[in-house]
Amino acid sequence: MTPEQRLDRLERMARLLYEATVRDSRESRKRRAQLEGYWTALSEHDAAKLAAAERPEDLETSETLRRATEGLDRAREELKQAIETGRTRQPKATPN
3-state SS of the chain?
CCHHHHHHHHHHHHHHHHHHHHHHHHHHHHHHHHHHHHHHHHHHHHHHHHHHHHCCCCHHHHHHHHHHHHHHHHHHHHHHHHHHHHHHCCCCCCCC
Residue 95 is predicted with a pLDDT of: 54
**Which among 70, 67, 72 has a CA at the least distance from the CA of 40?**
72
CA atoms within 13 A on the CB side of 74: 10
pLDDT for 90: 56
Q: What percent of the chain has pLDDT over 90?
A: 68
Q: Is the pLDDT of residue 30 over 60?
A: yes
Q: What is the pLDDT confidence band of residue 85, given thresholds at 50, 70 and 90? A: confident
Question: 33-66 pLDDT, tens per residue?
Answer: 999 999 999 999 999 999 999 998 889 999 999 9
